[in-house]
Structure 1
Amino acid sequence: MIRRLVVCLSLVFPLTAIGAGFSHLAQLDEEGFKIGAQARLLDNGATLGEINADQSLSPASVTKAYLAAAALERWGPQHHFTTRLVTAADVNDQGHLEGDLVLEGGGDPALASEHLWRMVQSLHHRGIRHIDGRLVISQWRFGPVACVTEDRCDARSRSGNSYSAQLSSAGINHGNWCVQVLPVGSTGDRARIVSCDNRAPLVGIESEVSTGAKDSATELYAERVTNGDGDRLVLRGNIAADDSARTVYRSSADAADQTAQTLLTLIEQTGITVEEGYALSQTPPPESSRTLASHDSSALQELLLRTMNYSNNYMADVLALNLVGSAQADLSQAGESLESFVAQLDGHGPATLHSGSGLTPENRTTAAGVNVLLEHMYRQASLFPSFVAGLQSPVNGVMRMIRKGSDSFQNNVMLKTGTLNQPFAVRSVAGYFRTQQGRWGVFSVMVNGSSNTPYLNWTKVLDPLAKDLTAMIESH
């Protein structure tokens, strides 16, 4: 009956009102989902498909396309973020640093343990053997950042995932603890838990993982919990005796504190002693400080490729916080920086952006607006290669769920997806396509649920979208 009504309406209303060009995707409207979609060519601006393209909806991680564009226009593809080990103290003839050693966080979203290790080696090469003062972690640019999403707020006390990491300009390893689980001995024996980047785990371990029989299923449960004794990983389950090591990531409760513990351990492993332990700071190092060691991040274009391809929320929000440019930035200011960027895009219209990651469900934009952004970047000859590199091709993208549809869809589309499940389902996808005649186009689709439509499988969005885009690609 509903399908008959849709056919009848098509005789009365313009086809764009019910999904011209998106005939397959439009069927989701019958199930109660809100849909905003638009596809158009870039050479002549012709609209090939449209459904409520000006409806303001949640884009989820498609927000990262705004972040990538704003970052590229602010800094350019070859920008680096520098992390420094500095001091205002002297080093005496016995190799004593007569004061504090300060790690000045530079807002590097991909800073990792191995980078700290190389900086520590530089200290040793300089002849430093003892630090009379403290190791100070300076997160003066931003951190700790107030949580604005339920996931990140909950993760201050416990976390069962890696994406809800706390944010800091001096964070490492995407704000995550990492351990490996290895089978040991025979069936029933306790599995071995080792650190991914230290001789022994820095985080507390509570494990009841046992070694299972060969060819059995490996089933692991892991949660990080925090109390007065600090972070602790709670692990349960079993790992097959013939299985390889399984890596587990869980977000830490305090990114800067995680950095401090890791760096202090690396310093001591190098043979340098620290007299007074470590401290966290929100103030810059003294102006008289000099650099003892430093690390430059990968170029921005490489950071964005990782941020976009893997939809890394930590990296996206750290980059967005860097856009603020003032001390002790918070996510609301980061959102304002992104909104200021959007305001400069002719024809975009208003957008609400509370984060660079899209984790904030309050983010709002339109399908037409996303396409304005995509066209804007397409016409930036010096920036477009770095921007489009962050999108995935369905035929070989890192996300298996997008590997579907016709050959035309698989090989002629570059896209970014976005997913939220709370407080309502969001499935969004946007990017570029090339027609069989070699013409470039942009497309954007946002599907939002409600309390009446709490679940939405990606297949129900990607399958009809692939059919609709295939028709556009093959007919132009």
Structure 2
Amino acid sequence: MVGKGRGLSRRGLLAGLLASAASPVLARAPSRSPLPPARPETNRFAALALDEPVRQAPLSSLSSVLQAANISGETALIAVDAQTGALIEEHRADLLVPPASTAKALTAMYALHMLGAEHRFITRVEARGGAIASGVLTGDLVLRGGGDPTLQTAHLAELADQLIARGLRRVEGRFLLDDGALPVLEQIDPTQPVAAGYNPAVGGLNLNFNRVYFGWETLNGRAALSMDARSGSEVPPVSVIGIEAVARDFPVYTYASRGGRETWTVAASALGGSGSRWLPVRHPTEYAGDVLRAMLRARGCELPEPRRASVPAGAILAEYRSATLPGVLREMLRYSTNITAECAGLSASLRRGGEVRSLAGSADRMNDWLAERYGAQGLALVDHSGLSDESRVSARAMADYLVAARRENILPDLLREHPMRDASGAPMASHPVEVRAKTGTLNFVSALAGYAQPRGGREIVFAIVSADMARRRTIRDEDSERPPGARTWTARARNLQQTLIERWSALHG
């Protein structure tokens, strides 16, 4: 063991790497870390030379590694040399499996090439048919969305402040919401749990990742419930979404939409003490308009009831611009935000040309483009986030993509750095393999794909997917958020992922 305040020797680093490669299950796979510091494009990985030759320990066979992992279902994997594409090892690499969120690594380059690195999503407030005079806009006020998946209440507050600074206090005409930048889809994947905040609507106007904050406090057996659109210092109330507690045990949540208003119910038995969670929004346009109206009212400006409409551009009164696309995509890959992937993918398909009405139709265009540009044949994605378990990729196609994309010196720097972990699950800062990759997790699906740089060795491209679709299909509705056995299964899959990366580093180092 290494004492406190001491580092591993170079010999010890490599010996530890080889020993771990010989053992089938050691530690959890890389999962989360802060964003890495900026790195020069020509030196994405810190490669420290080894000045002492070390004899490699014998490695177990791949079949024994997979058997010892004890993961039900199927596992597909491949590792290749990152520069040449030469095969290091593979197992069922042509099997079509769900990519889960590793699909976002594919979407990232599609969006960058179609939209450009300088692209920003722009949200505007415009005046049509009149001007502001003596605090009154005689025409219509238009909130025009640009498909920004990162728009927050704090950003709408900036728009409200710009309007107040222009002297706006009342609108004589209409308050219109134009969401025509993207098709409006009420959810990404209809098979997900009804209250899953990671499965919201997608549209031209999005707010707070299309989630609403639900909070409760229970006192003397009575629960006080609230809905708001909090962000930063702003906590505006929401009038177009409501919730009530009902006397039942299951289901915990139900959802309905009546007359343009979203209505949730929650099982009273589930509300103990106080708590909160973010619930998905299905009518994002009305949600964004409602919140802007509430914030302007709080600033002394009255607006009429909002209504959706597609109208020509008017005079710009206020606007908010998102970060440039690489920053948006880097955050998407770090936090695995599904709505960002879908908005970026839809925007890219629209820029490519033609009509886009569905995620599946847009994903088809992306599949074709990835095959043409990167030689990734046989991709069958049905969305851009990987949330649907109907999407399919092969480990070989993912590796082909990663090898080709690496030559552009872009994708590895967008992917987050994943610390390798010790047997207790703690990150190892001095581990001799540096990994940049994208994880993917669904119930009974676990994937990892990216780049591994052994210290002093050659860079590796890898793709690993484990999936037990039979167990996934048997999940009951009441168990959908925490299916029995899913946590243990995922831990084993992540253990295998790290074991394989260490194995390949020893084989290829």
TM-score range, shorter chain: 0.7 to 0.9
Secondary structure of 1:87's aligned partner: strand
Cα distance in 1 between the residues matched to 2:108 and 2:331? 11
Q: Which residue of 1 is the match for residue 177 of structure 2?
A: 137
- Mapped to 1, the partners of 2:129 and 2:390 lie a distance apart of 47
Aligned residue in 2 for 1:353? 381
- Which of 129-138 and 453-462 deviates more? 453-462
User: 2:478 aligns to what?
Assistant: none
Comparing 104-113 with 319-328, greater Cα deviation is found at: 319-328
State the alpha-carbon separation in 1 of the partners of residues 94 and 498 from structure 2: 22
Whole-angstrom CA distance in 2 between matches of 1:385 and 1:351: 21
In 2, the alpha carbon distance for the partners of 1:373 and 1:469 equals: 18
Q: How far 1:147 sits from its partner (Å)?
A: 5.2
Aligned residue number for residue 296 of structure 2? 267
Q: Which residue of 1 aligns with 2:414?
A: 387
Q: 1:427 aligns with which of 434, 439, 446?
A: 446
1:39 alignment partner in structure 2: 79
Q: Which amino acid in 2 is paired with 1:195?
A: D
Q: For residue 231 of structure 1, what is the amino acid of its counterpart?
A: E
Q: Which residue of 2 aligns with 1:228?
A: 258
Distance 1:366 1:404, change over 3 A: farther
How far 1:290 moved relative to its partner? 1.2
Displacement of 1:467 in angstroms is 1.7
Instruction: Please state how far the C-alpha of 1:101 moved relative to its aligned partner.
Output: 1.0
Kindly state the Cα deviation for residue 279 of structure 1 after the two structures are TM-superposed: 0.5
CA distance in 2, matches of 1:317, 1:331: 7
Residue 22 of structure 1, CA deviation:
3.8
Separation of aligned partners in 2, 1:53 and 1:376 = 17
Gaps of 5+ in 2: 1-58, 474-484
Question: Across the two proteins, how many residue pairs are aligned to each other?
Answer: 425
The 1:269–1:144 alpha-carbon spacing in structure 2 relative to 1, beyond 3 Å, is same
Per the alignment, residue 189 of structure 2 pairs with 149
1:126 aligns to what?
A: 166
Deviates more, 1:174-183 or 1:296-305: 174-183
Q: Is the 8 A contact 2:71 2:493 kept in 1?
A: no
Once residues 142 and 378 of structure 2 are traced to their aligned partners in structure 1, the CA distance between those partners, rounded to angstroms, is: 42
Contact 2:75–2:464 at 8 Å: present in 1 too? yes
Distance 1:24 1:181, change over 3 A: farther
Change (3 A) 1:171 1:224: farther
Map of 2:33 onto structure 1: none
For residue 415 of structure 1, what is the amino acid of its counterpart?
A: A
Q: Distance in 2 between matches of 1:223 and 1:401?
A: 39
Over 3 Å counting, the alpha-carbon distance change for 1:258 and 1:22 in structure 2 is: farther
* 1:410 Cα offset (Å): 8.5
- The correspondence of residues 449-468 of structure 1 with structure 2, limited to 5 A, is 449-451=468-470, 457-468=489-500
Determine the structure 2 residue equivalent to 1:362.
390
Matched, 1:204 2:204: no
Query: Structure 1: how far apart are the matches of 2:432 and 2:170?
Result: 58
Matches within 5 A, 1:47-58: 47-58=87-98
Distance 1:270 1:473 in 2: 60
> What's the counterpart of residue 284 of structure 2?
255
Equivalent AA in structure 1 for residue 263 of structure 2: R
**Secondary structure class of the residue paired with 1:350:** coil
Aligned AA (2:168): I
Structure 1: give runs of 5+ residues left out of the alignment.
1-18, 210-220
For residue 119 of structure 2, what is the aligned residue in structure 1?
79
Structure 1 residues 90 and 369, CA, compared in 2 at 3 Å: closer, same or farther?
Answer: same
Q: Deviations over 1:254-278 (max 9, x none)?
A: 1112112112212222211124x11
2:414 counterpart letter in structure 1: F
Q: For residues 253 and 402 of structure 2, what CA distance do their matches in structure 1 show? A: 39
Counterpart amino acid of 1:439?
A: R
How far, CA to CA, are the matches of 1:89 and 1:265 in structure 2?
24
Shift of 1:297: 0.6
Q: 1:26 to 1:164 in 2, by over 3 A?
A: same
SS at match of 1:451: helix
Alignment match of 1:67 (pick from 98, 107, 112): 107
Please give the residue correspondences for 1:291-306 in structure 2 after superposition, counting only pairs within 5 Å: 291-306=316-331
Q: Deviations over 1:20-66 (max 9, x none)?
A: 97445532898762222101122343322200112222212111111
The within-5 A match list for 1:283-322 is: 283=310, 285-287=311-313, 289-322=314-347
Contact 2:237 2:291 in 1 (8 A): no
1:259 partner letter: A
TM-score (norm 1): 0.79
Tell me: CA distance 1:258–1:223, structure 2 relative to 1, closer, same or farther (3 Å).
farther
Aligned identity (percent) is: 22
- Provide the alpha-carbon RMSD of the alignment: 3.4
Distance in 1 separating the partners of 2:177 and 2:61? 55
| Corresponding position: 1:105 with 2:105 | no
Question: With CA pairs under 8 Å and 6+ residues apart, which has the higher RCO, 1 or 2?
Answer: 2
Question: Could you tell me whether the CA contact under 8 Å between 1:307 and 1:316 is conserved in 2?
Answer: yes
The structure-2 alpha-carbon separation of the partners of 1:142 and 1:453, relative to structure 1 and needing over 3 Å to count, comes to: closer
Distance 1:115 1:148 in 2: 24
- Aligned twin of 2:503: 471
Work out the CA distance in 2 between the residues paired with 1:150 and 1:401.
38
SS in 1 for 2:201: coil
Shift of 1:122: 0.9
In the alignment, the residues of structure 1 paired with residue 151 and residue 296 of structure 2 have an alpha-carbon distance, to the nearest angstrom, of: 17
